[in-house]
Structure 1
Amino acid sequence: MNILIIGNSGSGKTTLARRLAAELGVAPLSMDRVAFAEGTQRHPVQASVAALQALVQGQVHRVIEGCYADIAEALLPDCDHLLFLNPGVEVCVAHCRRRPWEPDKFASAAEQDAHLDALIAWVRAYPERRDEYGLIRHRALFEVFSGDKRELRRIEDYAAL
């Protein structure tokens, strides 16, 4: 089973991926792990995809999550299930405000907190953004995927998976 989860920052991708991966007995993979070189500089998409494919090589089951439509698009041919988490901007903002410290992304909780306003602005721009991280691009991926797919608009629906 190969599950791909996409959605806005704060939509619950990581939390859902952890739960589904635990049920399958595998480690969840975040696209964040392969997307960036230093700071905000992205790796080329092909390099990110190759790195992700190397990480999952030989795994029978995979749960991959992220907001990078360009990476997700390259993974779609190997995907059995696509989950598009779209609970709305205000739910995502609330999740971001409650997000615990992520030591894999920030040196300290204070450093993470210093970036919160920028993150919230980023989350609020989701419906209008035309980049790889926005609703328009996520919706397009969802529409072209011909396999099993679900758009989840309520957090309560995540538990039913």
Structure 2
Amino acid sequence: MRKIIIFGNSGSGKSTLARKFKNQGLTHLDLDALAWLPSNPPERRPIGQVYEQIQSFIGDNREWVVEGCYADLLELAKPFASEAIFMNLPVHLCQENARKRPWEPHKYESRKAQDDNLPMLLDWIAGYMERDDPLSYSAHNALFKGFQGSKKELTYNENA
């Protein structure tokens, strides 16, 4: 049974890779769907609520892939995962991927809203190595190093 966690910077290809696993029959959980309250400005959902949702997802599915940039949330799935994939692409490739990203209707009300957010996203991607939070390189690297199962670090997108 495959139980996979995928993590890395925004634009690294986490969702694209997770969709490939979904097409192979694994149930997909995008942590963006759980991490945020539906508020403006965006506010993180309390970790206890997210923990319950992750536990429910894991309990309801034999094979799964959980992806996101939230090391704190991925730590909740890590004990149940058989594999970890760290999408550790250079920042410039993540930014290039973000520029090419198709409209994400589950995140933005319109393509224009997504495009309007792009400058902020590119700046946020650029700060990946310097940030010191659960969405940073240091948090992802610690998650990867601490994972005891099968693990892989990707430094480029395989279909690029």
User: If the TM-score is normalised by the length of the shorter chain, which range does it land in?
Assistant: over 0.9
* 1:31 matched residue in structure 2: 31
TM-score norm. by structure 1 comes to 0.93
1:52-105 Cα shifts (integer Å, max 9, x gaps): 222343211001100001000111100100000011100000000000111011
Which runs of 5 or more residues in structure 1 are unaligned?
none
Identify the residue that residue 135 of structure 1 maps to in structure 2: 137
Q: Distance in 1 between matches of 2:48 and 2:152?
A: 26
Distance in 1 separating the partners of 2:71 and 2:47? 10
Q: Which residue, out of 61, 65, 68, partners 2:67? A: 65
When normalised by structure 2's length, the TM-score is 0.93
Give the whole-Å Cα distance in 1 for the aligned partners of 2:60 and 2:27. 13
**Contact 1:18–1:27 under 8 Å retained in 2:** no
The residue type equivalent to 1:149 in the other structure is K
Corresponding position of 2:22: 21
Question: Residue 109 of structure 2 aligns to a residue in which SS?
Answer: coil
C-alpha displacement of 1:46: 2.1
- Seq. identity, %: 39
> Shift of residue 29 of structure 1?
1.1
Give ranges in structure 2 of 5+ residues lacking alignment. none
- Give the 3-state SS of the residue equivalent to 1:71 in structure 2: helix
Q: Map residues 9-158 of structure 1 onto 2, 5 A cutoff.
A: 9-23=10-24, 25-37=25-37, 38-39=39-40, 40-156=42-158
1:26 deviates by: 3.2
Give the stretch that moved more between structures: 46-55 or 107-116. Answer: 46-55
- What SS is found at the alignment partner of 2:43? coil
- Amino acid across the alignment from 1:22: N
3-state DSSP of counterpart to 2:140: helix
CA RMSD of aligned residues (A): 1.4
SS across alignment from 2:44: coil
